[in-house]
Amino acid sequence: MTTQQQIAISTIPPAATRFARRDFLSAHIVEVGILLQEQFGVEHAAAFLKDNFIHLDVAMRVLLRPAERRRPQA
Q: Residue 71 domain-assigned?
A: no
Q: Residue 72 domain-assigned?
A: no
Domain span at 24: 3-66
Instruction: For 23-48, write each residue's pLDDT tens digit.
Output: 889 999 999 999 999 999 999 999 99
Element (DSSP H or E) covering residue 61 = helix 56-64
Q: How many domains does the chain have?
A: 1
Instruction: For 40-74, write each residue's pLDDT tens digit.
Output: 999 999 999 999 999 999 999 999 999 998 876 44
21 burial type by CB count under 10 A (0-12 exposed, 13-18 middle, 19+ buried): middle
Closest CA to 42 of 33, 29, 54, 55: 33
Q: Residue 20 domain-assigned?
A: yes
Q: Residue 34 domain-assigned?
A: yes
